[in-house]
Structures are given as C-alpha cells and as structure tokens.
Amino acid sequence: MEISIRTPLIHSLPLSQHSGCEVWLKMESSQPTGSFKLRSAGHICQYYAQKGAKGFISSSGGNAGIAVAHSGRKLGLPVTVVVPETTSARARELIELEGARLIVHGKVWSEANEHALSLVTDDIFYIHPFDNPLLWEGISTIVDEVVNDGLRPDAVILSVGGGSLLSGIAQGLEKHQLDHIPVYAVETHGTASLNASLNAGKLVRLDKVSGIATTLAASQVCENAFTVARRLNVTGMQVSDEEAVNACRQLLDDHRVLTEPACGVSLSLLYDRKVQFNPADKVLVIVCGGASVTLESIQA
C-alpha cells in the first residue's frame, strides 16, 4: 500500500520569467495531508508496522503529526500525537480528524517530545518528526520522481526546520549523482538553526525561536542535516517573515496553490531575486506545502 503519492512537477512560467531561469516546482503540497511529511511518515510507519508495531506515538508542531496520524489510519493502527501549546488550532483539528489521540503538552516542541518519549512501550513505536534515516529515505523519493520525469536540476531550493527535508533531498541527489549541484537551504531569521550551526562550524542550539513559520521552529537541526550541509554544496539563506508570507500570496496568484510561510521561505528566494541564476539553469523548488495553512491565516 502506498500512503504518500507521486506529486506533480510543474514548470512555472511566471517564476521563470521573473527569475530569468527555468523554474520547476515539485508540488509536495499535493500530498493527501498537504505536505512532504507524508513521504517520511508513511515510509517509517509502514516499516514499523511490518516489524509488529501495534501503534505509534509522535510529537510535532503540526505537519509531521498530521502525517503520522494519517499513516496510522491508513494502516489501521492507533496514533497518539503530542503537540506543544504553540501548535495551531487548525493543526490540532486535522490530527483529531485523522482519528488520532491528541495531547497538548509544553510550551515548545522539545517539551512535547519529552512527554511523547515517556509514552513509548515495546509495541507502541515512537516516530520522530525529522531525525531518523527511515524518514530521510522516504523523502529521497522526491528526487527519484523528479529525475524519472526527465529533470536533472542545476540547483535546488528548499526550506529547513528540523532538517529531514534537506537530509532526504541530499540522499536522493547523491543516489542520482547530482550531489555536486548547489542547494539553497532557507530559514526565517527567527528559526535559523542551520545557519547558526554553519556559522559556528558546529551543531548549536538557538536560545529561542520566533516568528510566523512555526513549523520551521526547531531550535536545533538534526545532526545529519548539519553534516550533509557541510559535505555537499549547501548554502544557508535567511528571509524575513514578511518575505515568506508575500511569497505565499504570490504563489497563490501565480499557481492557485496555498502554502504555509515555512514553504514561502523557499519561494521568496526567487520572488525577491535573492540568488542570481543563468538563463539556462534549471532550478528545482521543493514546494513543501503546509497541512494546516488557511487563507485566513495568510491574510492575518
């Protein structure tokens, strides 16, 4: 059974003309739960189900929890998701809509995660939202699909929260001998844990995370994302909350697709012309989506 789906790869004429290069959008917003997290959650939940899991426990700021809840429902296994108080009402609603048990615990994700770990048993398996090789393996299929659709990109733009998307895309690029191409890893100023680690030359934890892109709000990226960023041709970039939201609005006008600010950070690199590409360059943007975004939240 496939839990995640093959998503569209579309050529963006508006963004191509605006950016002066060939822009391609991998529409992970089209996943049944609205974000790329379904690839990772679906893959790891299926794997653990085959190993005898009788249910799943996860912690999340939103997208990952919704994806685990959906995967458990598809597999017929119970799911408990622990979220911090900062998780939006919409995300909580979607987790419960999938039939999962929702627990609100702690002011930040790390506190919710500690509580989730305390609930694990021998047959109720823990699903980390971003730090597990099985998650990255599921996400790497994005690159498989892009290459199978005939595109070998010259650059990739993606958002960074906990680092699973960067880890998975890097794995896919290495598999297809594309690990030499530049990858632009984008965060907001208030969530820039990867940028902080790259600048320090070691894995560091932010004292606090802030801003509108709550699903990027991991105070520290997973170690693998940091390792990958130093090993491959990865450039850390930062944009403002306002730039991220404006990019979401622009994408909605250009492609009739609504994404969350955590996805808008990637798009803003092109909409605000923060990187210059050559006319012949094929630039791939991972439109990572956003399960709980609403028009009202973007307007607010």
Domain interval for residue 254: 9-36+134-299
Whether residue 131 has pLDDT greater than 90: yes
Name the pLDDT band for 203 (thresholds 50, 70, 90): very high
Total of domains in the chain: 2
Q: Is the Cβ–Cβ distance between 87 and 111 less than 8 Å? A: no
In a domain, 1, yes or no: no
DSSP-derived 3-state class of residue 22: strand
Whether residue 292 has pLDDT greater than 90: no
Same domain, 30 and 47: no
Compare 62 and 3 and report the one with higher pLDDT. 3
Last residue of a domain, one of 130, 161, 179: 130
Q: What is the reported pTM?
A: 0.95
Q: What is the mean pLDDT of residues 103-107?
A: 95
**pLDDT mean across residues, the chain:** 95
Which of 65-69, 210-214, 244-248, 269-273 is least confident? 210-214
Same domain, 115 and 50: yes
Q: Is the Cβ–Cβ distance between 147 and 177 less than 8 Å? A: no
* CATH code of 68's domain: 3.40.50.1100
DSSP character string of 243-273: HHHHHHHHHHHHHS----HHHHHHHHHHHTT
Same domain, 115 and 154: no
Same domain, 173 and 267: yes
In a domain, 4, yes or no: no
